[in-house]
Structure 1
Amino acid sequence: MVRIIAVVFIWFLGVNCQSQEAITSKLYETYETYKEPSLDKRRIKYNQLQPLIQRFDANPKFEVQKVGESIEGRDLNLISIGSGDQNIFLWSQMHGNEPTATQSIFDILNFLDAPDFKDEKQEILSKLKLHFLPMLNPDGAEVYQRRNALGIDINRDALRLQSPEGQTLKRIRDSLDAKFGFNLHDQSTYYNAELTDKPATISYLATAYNYEKEINEVRSNAMRVIVYMNNIIQNYAPGQVGRYSDDFEPRAFGDNIAKWGTSLILIESGGYRNDVEKQEIRKLNYVSILSALYTIAKESYLDIPMEDYERIPRNDRKLFDLKLENVTYKLLGKDYILDLGIYRQEVDLEGHQDFYNKSIIVDQGDLSTFYGYETFDASGYTIVPPNVFQGEPKNLGGILGTLKKGIGYLSSKKLSSNHFTSEPINQIQLGYQLPSFRLAVGQNPTFFLEKEGVISHAVINGFLLDLSQDLDLQNFGNALIYR
Structure 2
Amino acid sequence: MKFFILSLGLLAATTCSNPFTGNSSSTVGSGYHLDTAQLNSLHATFKEPALYHRRFKHTDIDSLVQVHRKSDIFGVTEIGKSVEGRSIYELEYGEGDKKVMLWSQMHGDEPTATMALFDLFNFLEGKGDGFDTVRTMLRENLNIHFIPMLNPDGAERFLRRNAQSIDLNRDARAGQTVEGKLLKARADAIKPRYGFNLHDQNIYYNVPDTKNPVTISLLAPAYNPEREVNEVREGAMQIIVGMNKLLQQYIPDAVAKYDDTYTPRGFGDNFQSWGASTVLIESGGLKGDPEKQQIRKLNFMIILNALMEIAQGSYGSYDAKGYEDIPFNASNFHDVLIRGLEFGSDSISLKSDIAIRRGETTVGRDYFVRGRVEDIGDLPESMGYDEVQADGMKFIIGKIAPQPLPNFESITPEIAFDLLKKGYIGVQVAQLKPEQANMLHSLPIHVFATPNFAATPFIDLGGTTNFYIGDSNGTLKYAVLNGYLIDLNKPLSEIPALKNRVQ
TM-score > 0.5 by shorter chain: yes
**Counterpart in 2 of 1:148?**
162
**Deviation of residue 457 (structure 1)?**
1.6
Structure 1 window deviating more from structure 2 (57-66 vs 412-421): it is 412-421
- Counterpart selection for 2:424 from 399, 403, 407: 407
Is 2:295 the counterpart of 1:281? Answer: yes
- Measured against aligned partners, the alpha-carbon deviations of 1:362-404 in whole angstroms (never above 9, x if no partner) come to 1111111111111111111111111222216899x94444333
Matched AA of 2:291: E
Contact kept, 8 Å, 2:201 with 2:283, in 1: the verdict is yes
Looking at structure 2, the residues matched to 218 and 407 of structure 1 have their Cα atoms a distance apart, in angstroms, of: 60
Query: What residue number does 1:438 align with?
Result: 458
For 2:453 and 2:70, the matched residues in 1 are separated by 61
Distance 1:38 1:15, change over 3 A: closer
Q: 2: CA distance between counterparts of 1:379 and 1:330?
A: 14
In 1: Cα distance, 2:206 partner to 2:32 partner: 28
Is residue 196 of structure 2 the alignment partner of residue 182 of structure 1?
yes
Q: Does the C-alpha gap of structure 1 residues 157 and 431 become closer, same or farther in structure 2, counting only changes over 3 Å?
A: closer
Q: Please show how residues 356-395 of structure 1 align to structure 2 within 5 Å.
A: 356-391=368-403
For residues 408-466 of structure 1, what are the alpha-carbon distances to aligned partners after superposition, in whole Å with 9 as ceiling and x for unaligned?
A: 12244335412654221223445437387111111111111111411122111111222
Query: Once structures 1 and 2 are overlaid, which stretch shifts more, 195-204 or 419-428?
Result: 419-428
Residues 62 and 327 (structure 1), Cα distance of their counterparts in 2 relative to 1, 3 Å cut: same
Identify the residue that residue 38 of structure 1 maps to in structure 2.
Answer: 50
Which deviates more from structure 2 when the two are superposed, residues 99-108 or residues 473-482?
473-482
Q: Distance in 1 between matches of 2:452 and 2:203?
A: 34
Match of 2:253 in 1: 239
Q: Which residue of 1 aligns with 2:495?
A: 474
> Is the Cα contact below 8 Å between 1:424 and 1:478 reproduced in 2?
no
Matches within 5 A, 1:30-109: 30-109=42-121
Deviation at 1:470, TM superposition (A): 1.6
Give the aligned partner of residue 8 of structure 1: none
Decide whether the 8 Å contact of 1:92 with 1:185 is kept in 2: yes
* Within-5 A mapping of 1:1-40: 13-14=25-26, 17=29, 20=32, 22-40=34-52
Q: Does 1:214 align with 2:235?
A: no
d(CA) in 1 for partners of 2:121, 2:456: 55
Asked whether the equivalents of residues 206 and 332 of structure 2 are also in contact (C-alpha less than 8 Å), the reply is yes
Please tell me whether residue 340 in structure 1 is matched to residue 332 in structure 2.
no
Write the distance in 1 (CA, Å) between the matches of 2:471 and 2:24: 63
Distance of aligned partners of 1:383 and 1:333 in 2 relative to their CA distance in 1, 3 Å threshold? same
CA contact (8 A) 2:29 2:315 kept: no
Structure 1 residues 177 and 330: CA distance shift in structure 2, 3 A:
same
SS in 1 for 2:480: strand
Residues 27 and 436 from structure 1, CA distance in 2 versus in 1: closer, same or farther, beyond 3 angstroms?
closer
Q: Matched residues in 2 for 1:400 and 1:420: separation?
A: 17
Structure 2: which amino acid aligns with 1:404? Answer: K
Q: In 1, are the aligned partners of 2:367 and 2:499 still within 8 Å (CA)?
A: no
In structure 1, stretches of 5+ residues that fail to align are: 1-10
Classify 1:201/1:15 alpha carbon distance in 2 versus 1 (closer, same or farther; 3 Å).
closer
Secondary structure of the structure 2 residue equivalent to 1:340: strand
Contact 2:30 2:317 in 1 (8 A): no
Q: TM-score, normalised by structure 2?
A: 0.89
Separation in 2 of the partners of 1:430 and 1:15?
A: 61
In 2: Cα distance, 1:388 partner to 1:265 partner: 52
8 A Cα contact 2:99 2:190, kept in partner:
yes
- Indicate conservation of the 8 Å contact 1:24/1:291, yes or no: no
SS in 2 for 1:293: helix
CA distance in 2, matches of 1:462, 1:15: 41
In the superposition, relative to structure 1, how do residues 383 and 480 fare at CA in structure 2: closer, same or farther (>3 Å)? farther
Which is further off, 339-348 or 470-479?
470-479
Match of 1:451 among 471, 476, 495: 471
| 1:315, distance to aligned residue in structure 2 (A) | 0.8
Q: Structure 2: 5+ residue runs without aligned partners?
A: 1-22
Alpha-carbon separation, structure 1, partners of 2:472 and 2:461: 27
Contact 2:98 2:193 in 1 (8 A): yes
**SS of the residue 1:43 aligns to:** coil
Structure 2: distance between partners of 1:22 and 1:389: 57
| TM-score, structure 1 normalization | 0.92
* C-alpha spacing 1:449/1:22, structure 2 compared with 1 (3 Å): same
- CA distance in structure 2 between the partners assigned to 1:421 and 1:138 by the alignment: 28
Note the C-alpha offset of 1:323: 0.8
SS in 1 for 2:401: strand
Distance 1:340 1:61, change over 3 A: same
In 2, the alpha carbon distance for the partners of 1:398 and 1:57 equals: 51
**The residue matched to 2:369 in structure 1 has which SS?**
strand
Counterparts of 1:472 and 1:12, CA distance in 2: 48
Aligned to 2:481: 460
| Partners of 2:272 and 2:249 in 1: CA distance | 29
Q: CA RMSD in A?
A: 2.1
In 1, Cα distance between equivalents of 2:366 and 2:416 = 26
2:140 alignment partner in structure 1: 126
Deviations 1:172-222 (A, max 9, x none): 111111010000001101111222111111110000011100000000000
Cα 1:15/1:209, change in 2 over 3 Å: closer
Q: For the structure 1 residues 366 and 173, does the alpha-carbon distance in structure 2 shift closer, same or farther, using more than 3 Å as the test?
A: same
The alignment partner of 1:391 has SS state of coil
- By how many angstroms is 1:322 displaced? 0.9
Q: Retained in 2: the 8 A contact 1:20–1:291?
A: no
Letter in structure 2 aligned against 1:154: L
CA distance in 2, matches of 1:191, 1:68: 35
Query: Retained in 1: the 8 A contact 2:29–2:242?
Result: no
Pick one of 410, 414, 422 that aligns with 2:442.
422
